[in-house]
Amino acid sequence: AVVRQVLDNAGLDGEALLAKADDPDVKAELVANTEHAAARGAFGVPTFFVDGEMFWGKERLAQVSEALAS
């Protein structure tokens, strides 16, 4: 109820978003994405890949930005 209220307060449809989170297709996609990331070497969040190079941790966001700009 708290999450739904926060989403609603942010101008989103909290009920619809929470229902989507329980959708089996959405859950299956999350599992597939997690398995794919682990297979690429990701071991935590946030993990970003830019041109095959892995960046892990929020302190690497500046490096991710630089890699994307080059």
pLDDT attached to residue 42 = 95
For residue range 15-68, list pLDDT tens digits in order. Answer: 999 999 999 999 999 999 999 999 999 999 999 999 999 999 999 999 999 999
Query: Residue 42, Cβ neighbours under 10 Å: how many?
Result: 16
pLDDT attached to residue 5 = 98
- Beta-carbon contacts of 13 under 8 Å, excluding residues fewer than 6 positions away, are 7
Beta bridge partners of 49: 54
0.85 exceeded by the pTM?
no
Taking each helix axis from N to C terminus, what angle separates 2-9 and 14-21, rounded to the nearest 10 degrees? 130
